[in-house]
Amino acid sequence: MAIRQLRLEKDEILKKKSREVDVIDDKIQTLIDDMIETMYKFNGVGLSAVQVGVLKRIVVIDIDDGTGVKVLINPKIIKTKGEHEVEEGCLSFPNQYAKVIRPKEVTVEALDRSGKKITIKAKDLLAQAIAHELDHLEGILFVDLMIPGTLEYVAPEKQ
């Protein structure tokens, strides 16, 4: 496993649409492992493959609720319910936060890392993380969706 370099806000790849994964092979498994390690290294709750420069429809999420990391390959939101205003940040936009409108609940279908079809019904933070990461797969960034005037820069903590 390896820490991958994060693509940051001005990188044009972040605006590109990701492609479906056709075969879940060793290369994809290595990418997933690297994405998980990178997400944890930078204290994220989610990471999409495009954020490490790979235009594949792969997302990893861990909201630290004790259920572990979720790996979603070729995910699609098939249902949403409600919406609410939430504050959001992004590993590709370090120290920046803004308010966006996200669904309160989502149902997503995807493949897990073994290729098995899964369905996840999520609410609150998990629903928000899924919606955020799936937007990345379409080249949509949280700053594209932010409520005007809510972007804040927070100075990084000194080590």
Q: Give catalytic residue positions.
A: 133
Q: Give me the phi and psi of 64, to 5 degrees please.
A: 60, 45
β-bridge mates for residue 126, sequence order: none
At 146, which amino acid appears?
A: M
C-alpha closest to that of 61 among 128, 125, 130? 130
**Which DSSP string corresponds to 93-137?**
EEEEEEEEEE-SEEEEEEE-TTS-EEEEEEEHHHHHHHHHHHHHH
Beta sheet of 58-61, edge-to-edge order? 46-48, 58-61, 70-81, 105-111, 117-123
